[in-house]
Structure 1
Amino acid sequence: MLRFDVPPVWSNAARLDGLTTFIIAVIALAGFPYLVPLLIVQGLVRGFIGHYKCPSHRLYAALLEKLGKAGKKENAGAKMFANKLLFIASTVATGLYLAGSGMWIVPVTVLAVFSFLEWAFSFCVACWAYSAWYQLRGQH
């Protein structure tokens, strides 16, 4: 389902968003799990409000535009869905950590893998699932 009520995003700015998520997730897994709430904030802003309100995304987009490396414009719907999943997974991870469970590592590892795929290969797993879901339902 395409979203036309929010501005599209630059593909390479979204990749840098993925890099940011990857770095935070890897640092958290390296022994700093108290950084995971940063991912909650990123997911909340980009997923529920929009990329155009996220300071890091705006910075990335502006820098890449200035350098002529912004990529192509993409519909924000699938990227917002991906960030809603980021919000959910990082909230679960934070809750597990605060509860004293070592299981917080599972959602953070998944986030690290998926964000690496976005950053390194421009393959957004959640975007793919989002598109597949709507194709299966017959809504293009």
Structure 2
Amino acid sequence: MASRFFGLLLLSVLLSGLDASRPAINQELSNLFNELWRLDVNRMAPGVDYNVSVQGRAGYVSQGSHVVRDHASQPLFSNVNENKLNNITTFSRFMRLLDNYERSTGVTERVTTEELTEINLFLDAVLETQVMKCNRMLFVAL
């Protein structure tokens, strides 16, 4: 999720006319991204809060299907700190979104009032983080 917000931030910088290839701008962006990373007090630590078991690749999913041939013999995550997932507001609200989406490609999404509420609660929680408060200050300054 953080990479999505960093991408949006970078896009806004590029659209504002700054030349990100210039060393000074590149350093400013690096400093900014490092500050946002530092502000993310909720991030999960690899090897501590979760472990990834890299294995084979999943197969192609054809349109209208949700069947995927998974070549991995084990789950992708071999360990996840569920206590942290359940007790950090942004994570717990994100987890509530996971059953809101149509798994099959090419099938129209139906969004319920309850799902809209879950989405808004998640976005509210994200916008209350220090990372997003810092982003807001930067966007307002542009």
Larger Rg: 2
When you count helix as a share of all residues, which structure comes out higher? 1
> What's the TM-score, normalizing by structure 1?
0.26
Q: Relative CO higher for 1 or 2, CA cutoff 8 Å, sep ≥ 6?
A: 1
TM-score by length of 2: 0.25
